[in-house]
Amino acid sequence: MAKAQETLLEIDLKALRHNVEHLKSKLKKDTKFLAVVKAFAYGSDAPAIANYLQNNVDYFAVAYVNEGIALRKSGITKPILVLHPQAVNFETLISNNLEPSLYNTKILNAFIKVASKENQKDYPVHIKFNTGLNRLGFWENDVDYIMSKLRQTNTIKVASVFSHLAASEDLDENEFTLNQIESFKTTSKRMINALGYNPMLHMCNTSGILNYPEAHFDMVRSGIGLYGFGNSEKENRDLKPIATLKTVISQIHLIEKDETVGYNRAFKSDGFLKTATLPIGHADGIGRQYGNGKGYVMIHGNLAPIIGNVCMDMIMVNITNIECKEGDEVIIFDQSTTAEHLAEKGNTISYELITAISQRVQRVYVS
């Protein structure tokens, strides 16, 4: 890849292939694999990632209907589960052949109503149960109600029954997670008995895949693992971050003692200093929490801390001891100094940093 002449998010498709193969190697042969490509495939580019993965996965998931429509427009024909649909979008969901997660009475009834109006028969839906995350999902004691609704209509058919783990990455919460798994087993058994057919069962996200093989059921749902992050140092060694964020030095300044740098004069120099101004700021996804010495970039292998406040379109970094010139390449994160490292400096997790890289940053692909 040629060196960056502007801010770029470089996506390594070979690393993506490696990650999907690695995660699939943890599964039994007939366990299905769902690729979670919500939030622009965790900040990379959902249509491009999904098209690359399409022949290697069984299902896709997005959070919202408009994300599913973008995938259909880009030629994705595999089933797409919409994890958090809103009733106002059910007509477009159906016309784009997207499959809703139905997680409460209101959304179940709203979907049956729209599906009936559209003369659907056996439209695939996914029934979500809450087993302890307390975010979305029916409770176990809703099974009778769900079944009473399903018996009154042939417009929908249960393609899967699923739940979501609250702390699959945290082995200190092992007991809680095992309780979630038991609760899911009980509820899904009741659903299967009442339905008289076998919908798919699924529960595990990436950390669940790695830590709870007994809970793989018929399918697993992986997001962060595809993009190269696991839940421990050891697993991170088996996965490869797919994204490298790079930019260039726009301008170099020589700063004297007692001068200040940036808005609010947040940085005050106590001696001679050399700074580089870079064309990337909080509107690109590098939040203000990375300012004032918390975050850093890399220039020719050296760490250059961000000084002063992060601006909307720029950051200034300290390059006093780094030999570099205007136009030189700058790495924000890559496959060795990863987004996870930088996220820690900003008191957050890789998920937040990578999904925040805004649509203003051009995506390029290497394979």
Is 246 considered catalytic here? no
Q: With respect to ligand PLP, which residue has the nearer C-beta, 111 or 267?
A: 111
Q: Which of 189, 257, 263, 268 is catalytic?
A: 263
Among 205, 337, 350, 355, binds ligand PLP (CB under 6 A): 205
- Ordered DSSP codes for 116-148: HHTT-SSEEEEEEB-SSS-SS-B-GGGHHHHHH
Binding mask 107-146 for ligand PLP (x = CB under 6 A): ----------------------------------------
Distances from the Cα of 333 to the Cα of 246, 264, 298, 313, 365, angstroms: 7, 27, 8, 18, 16
Instruction: Output the smallest distance, CB 42 to ligand PLP, in A.
Output: 7
Q: With respect to ligand PLP, which residue has the nearer C-beta, 204 or 332?
A: 204
Kindly state whether residue 83 participates in binding ligand PLP, applying the rule CB under 6 A: yes
Q: With respect to ligand PLP, which residue has the nearer C-beta, 31 or 309?
A: 31
For 293, the 3-state DSSP assignment is coil
Q: Which stretch binds ligand PLP (CB under 6 A): 138-146, 153-161, 199-207, 304-312?
A: 199-207
Instruction: Output the smallest distance, CB 352 to ligand PLP, in A.
Output: 12
Distances from the Cα of 364 to the Cα of 9, 11, 45, 284, angstroms: 6, 6, 10, 16
Residues in binding contact with ligand PLP, number by CB under 6 A: 11
Among 206, 211, 338, 355, binds ligand PLP (CB under 6 A): 206
Among 23, 98, 164, 235, binds ligand PLP (CB under 6 A): 164
Q: For residue 82, which amino acid is it?
A: V
Q: With respect to ligand PLP, which residue has the nearer C-beta, 221 or 240?
A: 221
Instruction: Output the smallest distance, CB 2 to ligand PLP, in A.
Output: 31
Instruction: Output the smallest distance, CB 32 to ligand PLP, in A.
Output: 14
Instruction: Output the smallest distance, CB 236 to ligand PLP, in A.
Output: 14
Q: How many helices (H) and strands (E) does the chain have?
A: 12, 19
What residue spans of 54-173 are helical by DSSP H?
65-73, 90-95, 105-117, 143-151
Q: How far apart are CA 315 and CA 337, in angstroms?
A: 19
Q: With respect to ligand PLP, which residue has the nearer C-beta, 164 or 282?
A: 164
Q: Which of 26, 38, 149, 246 is catalytic?
A: 38
Is 38 considered catalytic here? yes
Q: With respect to ligand PLP, which residue has the nearer C-beta, 191 or 224?
A: 224
Task: Calculate Rg over the CA atoms of the chain.
Answer: 24
Beta strands in 293-341 (DSSP E): 296-299, 302-307, 315-318, 329-333
Q: How far apart are CA 155 and CA 353, in angstroms?
A: 41
Compute the C-alpha angle 297/13/2, nearest 5°: 55
Half-sphere exposure at residue 333, Cβ-oriented, CA atoms within 13 angstroms: 21
Nearest to 50 by CA among 32, 65, 27, 34: 34
Q: Which residues in 216-255 contact ligand PLP (CB under 6 A)?
A: 221-225
Pairing label, strands 315-318, 200-202: unpaired
Q: Which residue is nearest to ligand PLP (CB)?
A: 223
Which residues are marked as active site?
38, 263
Which residues contribute to the site for ligand PLP (CB under 6 A)?
36, 83, 164, 205-207, 221-225
